[in-house]
Structure 1
Amino acid sequence: MGILDRFKSNKTAQDKARKMSDAAEQKANERTGNKYESQVDSGQQQLHERLGMDEERPEQP
């Protein structure tokens, strides 16, 4: 069992990674004045998909 397989089955680690990812997204948007918001969001979604955390989330305003 590889490290990504263990990560995908560990809900606690996924929750922590999601919080860190959201914080990074927020910080990137703050530092760029939301100029690249769509690109940052797209990158975050790709990260979640590749780590097996891709679940439907409600759109944020």
Structure 2
Amino acid sequence: MGLLDNMKAKLGPAKGKVSDLAQRHEGKVHHGLEKAAHAVDKRTKGKYSDKIQSGTGKAKGAMGRLAHKGDHGPDAADTTPPREAGGTTPPPTAGGTAPPEGPPPTS
């Protein structure tokens, strides 16, 4: 058995415990992230607000994935839209309908 397999086997039981703790304390962690972001934003006088908000959002997303890992059911399904080949997420559409396929019509 290789080193990586050894580590995976030893860390396997810890994953469940971490997920359980994350799920039980998700609200507290989100509150702490908001509080830390606000403090940093205040100390930097808003100079990095966009970066702070982006980082906070990513941290909350990671926390949510960790807390809800192993949940099964309709609420646990990944509802993020698939990414296009260019690496960007397509914009949401009005009325829940998909945009027409092909190039836009010319006038």
Normalization by structure 1: what TM-score? 0.72
Query: 5+ unaligned residues in a row in structure 1: which ranges?
Result: 54-61
The residue aligned with 2:36 is 24
Name the SS for the 1:33 alignment partner. coil
Name the SS for the 1:48 alignment partner. helix
Q: Which has the higher contact order (CA 8 A, sep 6+)?
A: 1
Q: Name the count of aligned residue pairs.
A: 50
Question: Counterparts of 1:38 and 1:2 in 2: how far apart (Å)?
Answer: 33
The residue aligned with 1:56 is none
Normalization by structure 2: what TM-score? 0.43
Name the SS for the 1:16 alignment partner. helix
Runs of 4+ in 1 over 4 A off after TM superposition: none
Question: C-alpha displacement at 1:8, in angstroms?
Answer: 4.2
The residue aligned with 2:55 is 43
Larger helix share, 1 or 2: 1
1:47-58 alignment runs, 5 A limit = 47-52=59-64
Question: Counterparts of 1:24 and 1:34 in 2: how far apart (Å)?
Answer: 14
Q: Percent identity?
A: 18
AA aligned to 2:20 is: R
